[in-house]
A and B are shown apart, each in its own frame.
Chain A
Amino acid sequence: MSLSDLFVRVTETAAFNALVGKLRDGGVAVEAWLSSVNVNLSLSHIVAELRRTVQDGAADLAEAVFLQTATGEGLTLYARSAYQIERYPAVFSEHLFLLSNAATAPRHVLAAGDMLAGPAGASAGLFSSLGAMTLEPGGYALVRFTAQEAGPAGNIAARADLRLRTALVGASISNPPAIIVEGVDDNGGVGYATISLSPVQVSHELGASLSVTAIGQLVRVVRGPTTTAAQIAVAVNADTLARLLVFAAAQGTGASLAGDLAATTLTSSVVLPGQAAEGDDLVKQRCITRYSTTGAGGSEEAMIYWARALPAGYLASPVTKVKAYSNRYAGSIAGAAGTILVAGDAGALSPADLAAVTANLDGKYVLGTLVSVETTTNHTISPTGTVYVIRGRATVSDVQAAVAAALATYQAQLDIGGQAGKVYRQKLGARIEDAHPSGIRNVDLGVPATDVTILYDESVIFDPSGLVYELVDG
């Protein structure tokens, strides 16, 4: 037996056939084992299964001691022992959900963890509340929820149809696409105050003395220097129109003028996106590039390593894609300079994530050089066309979910700048068609009509909402 034989796995069936063949060659009357409960036949199956277990264990062990072959738990252990690298764990997503209470409903006082919510009609994908909350009759509260299951499945879309799974009379829950949060003063010295509608702070533009005025779609809260947040909350809640506008703004339907409300308006209710545990290829990338960090510094691999290193205060790196360019700075050709482009599976990083990643790279490049750490620009491709679903093979909703999942996987696989600067139309169609091989008859792709050009600093984002699904008989 050679060392390479250790990598060969065997099935129980193959081991059984080999064993019985040897018994036959040895003169054993295996043809007379006519029943599946024959004692010798049973013993042969048990021995074959033992051989499979031992051989698979040997293969697992052999694969785990080489970076090129290690996978799963073996790679986790090898990366830890040989490179002192820990696989990034899966991250639980966190969202801000807006709770509203009917005017005639009772007051609800709830502790952290008291509430469960989830998508309508689904038994999985539940979220539990992280903060305490008092929900007044006719009032609103923004509450932070965390997914009960780690990973990207907890990244629900804005305006998802949610239901409270904890019975609260008169209360309902929604997932607004935009939420006003405490911001910085970027509006000519106007201050900001916290309105304690909920454990999550909501802020509004403030002036010199306390008053609340609803002007058009603008809610202006004016306060004195000693006004407390609680007083402001009372004042806002006392003004019916102001309260409604705050609610409307939180739903993204109000406050359309820039700067009218707080400087920082989240365009998503996602506080912390859920991430899958770091994949094997990404762990290996960090292992391979780690050695480059021990040299003089500044090599491409070292930049990739530091770009994907864990930022301070993070559970997992937000970066899954890195491109390092030399002689390019802030979009222009420049000597003694470099640009590190970073992105996550969802495309461009948020400013906070980019700042955290940039801090990891500070001081990691050669003295006398300029390095610009930048995130990519999202290039959204919204395919249109008709997906023909074979009746009886799959439901439209199943196929829709499969197409969304397939495009999410394809999006994660595409590097910054696409493939050779393109997303190939034929490949996009194939990915959609293969999303549900038995259920999809064919796809008549409209847009894109040709291959899509992707710039060197762009991340590809797929939006499958423009696809139409049509049931056909085969």
Chain B
Amino acid sequence: MADRYGIDQESYPYDASGAEVTGSRVLVLDAWKRLTTPEGACWWDPTGTEDITALFLAPIDRAVLPSIAERMARRFDADPRAEYEVDLAYLGTDLTATVTIAPIGGAPLTARIVAETGALEVL
């Protein structure tokens, strides 16, 4: 049954069953897809995605991480269902993006994406 966050299909971990997803899980999956898909790959929304895994091998100065995080956060600007914040940081040796999601009318939740593998973890 659709709710204010819409209906999607389960896609993490890779799932060919087409299981229906509703509720705040839709927002988590959106955040994961939005930050693991190369910019321009979705030609109907060419600036709506960015691939965090491309950052893994790139020589990145830690000083620019906040500006990259801000750019990533702007990928969510067109989404009226929630407010999003993105923080990029090294946890040990892993570069990770922590996405704080504040759904409209729902409880906040946090998702973490690891740059090296694209792995998603809901905190």
The residues of A with any CB-CB pair to B shorter than 8 Å are 12, 16, 29, 31-40, 42, 45, 49
Contacts and interface: CB of A to CB of B under 8 A. Distances in A.
B79 A35 contact: yes
A32 B9 CA distance: 11
Main secondary structure of the interface of B (DSSP, over half): loop
A38 B78 contact: no
B37 interface: yes
A36 B6 contact: no
- In order of increasing CB-CB distance, the 10 nearest A-B pairs are A34-B6, A36-B45, A32-B2, A32-B7, A37-B33, A39-B9, A32-B6, A35-B30, A36-B48, A45-B44
B44 A35 contact: no
B85 interface: no
Contact of B8 (A12, A31, A40, A49): A40
Given A38-B6, A38-B30, 16 more contacts: A31-B2, A32-B6, A33-B6, A33-B8, A34-B26, A35-B6, A35-B26, A36-B45, A36-B48, A37-B30, A37-B48, A39-B9, A40-B9, A42-B42, A45-B42, A45-B44
Contacts of A33: 6-8
8 contacts: A29-B7, A31-B2, A32-B6, A33-B7, A35-B79, A37-B45, A39-B8, A45-B43
Interface residues of B, number: 21
A17 to B, nearest CB: 12
A32 B44 CA distance: 17
Contacts of B26: 34-35
A34 B11 contact: no
B56 interface: no
Contacts of B7: 29, 32-33
B100 to A, nearest CB: 18
Contacts of B2: 29, 31-32
Contacts of B25: none
Contacts of A39: 8-9, 11
A45 B41 CA distance: 11
A40 B18 CA distance: 10
B93 to A, nearest CB: 29
A33 B21 CA distance: 11
Residue among B5, B7, B78 facing the most chain A CB atoms (10 A cut-off): B7
B49 interface: yes
B34 interface: yes
B99 to A, nearest CB: 13
Contacts of A37: 30, 33-34, 37, 42, 45, 48-49
B81 interface: yes
A386 B78 CA distance: 48
Nearest to A41: B44
Contacts of A16: 44
A40 B5 CA distance: 15
A2 B78 CA distance: 42
Interface in B1-50: 2, 5-9, 11, 26, 30, 33-34, 37, 42-45, 48-49
Contacts of B5: 34
Contacts of B43: 12, 45, 49
B109 to A, nearest CB: 16
Contacts of A35: 6, 8, 26, 30, 79
Nearest to B35: A37
Contacts of B34: 37
Contacts of B45: 36-37
Contacts of B78: 36
A260 B45 CA distance: 72
Interface in B35-91: 37, 42-45, 48-49, 78-79, 81
Nearest to A31: B2
Given A29-B2, A32-B2, A38 B8 contact: yes
Nearest to A33: B6
A40 B45 CA distance: 15
Nearest to A28: B7
Nearest to B5: A34
A31 B7 CA distance: 9
Contacts of A40: 8-9
B47 to A, nearest CB: 10
Interface string B84-121: 00000000000000000000000000000000000000
A29 B34 CA distance: 22
Contacts of A38: 6, 8, 30
B11, B33, B44: most-surrounded residue (chain A CB, <10 A): B44
Nearest to B22: A32
Contacts of A36: 42, 44-45, 48, 78
